[in-house]
A and B are shown apart, each in its own frame.
Chain A
Amino acid sequence: EAGVAQSPRYKIIEKRQSVAFWCNPISGHATLYWYQQILGQGPKLLIQFQNNGVVDDSQLPKDRFSAERLKGVDSTLKIQPAKLEDSAVYLCASSLVGRSEKLFFGSGTQLSVL
């Protein structure tokens, strides 16, 4: 079974530039998550989708971050414009629908903002 796919694996940009990350979840997983993991910290939930609807985006900095999940499958997370403090690993995860379903994580995209 294929896992959660993310790209790119690494990205280096200058502050004020824009960047986009792509995620393809495990087939059949209706729930998709984007997390931000700053070095030395735990993953912080940015946004959770169920199919193509948003379940929770309370911690998404909406002035600069946006995410979409068209057709309830792939998802894109965008940052525009990027700030130095956005340097982090961006993790995508997916799960089946349910109260206590485990999350399957991708390898992440490591973003460095210079």
Chain B
Amino acid sequence: GNSVTQMEGPVTLSEEAFLTINCTYTATGYPSLFWYVQYPGEGLQLLLKATKADDKGSNKGFEATYRKETTSFHLEKGSVQVSDSAVYFCALSDRHNDMRFGAGTRLTVKP
């Protein structure tokens, strides 16, 4: 079945550091790929998405590119801020939009 594997955390960075959180997927067909974020004390919310190969999703300075050849959707940000501290979840869905999530990566950004 469809599944997502993301890098284990926690990840701790200093403010303005470069961020990469790795995500790879296993799926039949052509899934859509997503990054969701959960800020402290808040619910899960969509950060960005990509619906086909080579698409780049972007939002709030975060980017991820749908790489079919490596079955990956790595999340990147050039300069993180303290306010980016959260748990990040990679996810995929198929034509029925049944969203499957990875285990999550906790990011802590220190001033």
Chain A contact residues, CB within 8 Å of chain B: 31, 33, 35, 40-45, 48, 55-56, 58, 91, 93, 95, 97-103, 105-108
Contacts and interface: CB of A to CB of B under 8 A. Distances in A.
A98 B36 CA distance: 18
Interface stretch (B13-21, B73-81, B101-109): B101-109
A48 B99 CA distance: 9
Interface residues of B, number: 24
A24 to B, nearest CB: 15
Interface of B: 1, 4, 32, 34, 36, 43-46, 49, 51, 89, 93-104
Contact of B97 (A35, A58, A95): A95
A50 to B, nearest CB: 8
Contacts of B1: 58
Given A91-B43, A99-B95, A103-B36, 7 more contacts: A35-B101, A43-B101, A45-B98, A45-B101, A100-B49, A100-B51, A102-B34
Contact residues of A: prevailing secondary structure: loop
Residue with the highest number of chain B CB atoms closer than 10 Å, among A42, A58, A95: A42
A48 B49 CA distance: 20
